[in-house]
Amino acid sequence: DFTPSFSPSGILGTSRDKVKIYLDGNFVKEVSVEEANLYELIDLEKKGNHLLKLEFLNPGTRVFAFTFG
């Protein structure tokens, strides 16, 4: 769980996986990570304090960077 206060938020992933995105406990979408790339997870209209939860569906997923703002 992360608490982003900026948008958009993204990850740099290198393993094939699907990631379920939750914001403040509500399912937002599922993102397919296919290759080493920056993936946008969520883009909020305005700044604020939120709880961002990422659920990786496959064990062993490698993520190298999280970006906020």
The per-residue pLDDT for 28 is: 94
Going by their DSSP bridges, the two strands 17-23 and 37-42 should be labelled as unpaired
pLDDT digits 0-9 by tens, 7-57: 445 555 556 788 899 999 999 999 888 877 777 888 888 888 888 888 988
Per the CB < 8 A criterion, the answer to whether 24 and 51 are in contact is: yes
Phi, psi at residue 66, to the nearest 5°? -120, 135
The per-residue pLDDT for 24 is: 93
> Which residues on adjacent β-strands are paired with residue 13?
37, 63
The per-residue pLDDT for 8 is: 44
Structure-model confidence comparison of residues 65 and 11, the more confident one? 65
The per-residue pLDDT for 29 is: 93
Q: Name residues whose C-beta falls within 8 Å of residue 43's C-beta, 6 or more positions apart in sequence.
A: 7, 8, 9
Structure-model confidence comparison of residues 63 and 26, the more confident one? 26
